Chains A and B, each alone.
Chain A
Amino acid sequence: MNSVGEGCTDLKREYDQCFNRWFAEKFLKGDRSGDPCTEMFKKYQHCVQKAIKEKDIPIDGVEFMGPNKDKP
């Protein structure tokens, strides 16, 4: 699957692989130990933010926060 930003697809795939493994083997099994994908996610997110701005996609109310920040 591709990313909205053509240059972000590799970063996306790397992150997806990490996330899918953590999701299935840790998160769904109730293991709350740390998220190993944080760094990968930051790189990927940075790339996507740029692509969205460049393509002028009207995203509604998204704050590009890091993965560990809780919303109130």
Chain B
Amino acid sequence: SSVATMEHIYYHPWETVTKAAMQKYPNPMNPGVVGVDVLNRHVDTQGRLCSNRLLSTEWGLPSLAKTLIGITRTNTYIQENSVVDPKEKTFELQSSNISCTNIVSVDEKLTYRPHPQDPQKTILTQEALISVKGISLSSYLEGLMAKTISANAGKGREAMEWVIRRLNTEIEELAATAQATIRIPMAAAVTEK
């Protein structure tokens, strides 16, 4: 098994990043995620929001890999547990893939916190733990998964920036619509003369 740790800084405040992370899908960088469902959610006695979500993914595996791994369906399910602490300003997500055979398991943990020196920025710490068991090609596959995960990490950040832009555009559009609504009655008053 292997662990990969990465850190990334977003030039957005923690609340913005947390809202975006909560609404991460759909986004064009993750076309494989085809469904997101909330299985359970509650606010605990410490005021933290705990959620358990199911991500349905579809991904194309080359047919040789399918034969080696023995996957007959291309649907993978990921179970994600997350905790948002609005007082401490932390958003922690832990996800692992679900599979009947449990040959390859990927556990990922993400933590979003405000940047200690700059409240307008957010730090993401990302850890991935991959383990493969039961096949002699295990180290090859682990290497493959590790490469895929680090390639995906870049995609993940792009996806977050996309969601943040979308949320900001919606806010701007709402503001523009409100302004336009105020102007129209005045224009009508002028032409009536």
Contact = CB atoms under 8 A, between A and B. Distances in A.
Nearest to A23: B22
B39 A48 contact: yes
B49 A62 contact: no
A71 interface: yes
Contacts, number: 92
Given A41-B41, A60-B98, A28 B54 contact: no
Contacts of A60: 79, 98
A71 B15 CA distance: 26
Interface residues of B, number: 34
Given A1-B35, A24-B19, A32-B47, A67 B79 contact: no
Nearest to A67: B42
A53 interface: no
B40 interface: yes
Nearest to A12: B37
Interface of A: 1-5, 8, 12, 15-16, 19-20, 23-24, 27-30, 32, 35, 41, 44-45, 48, 52, 57-60, 62-71
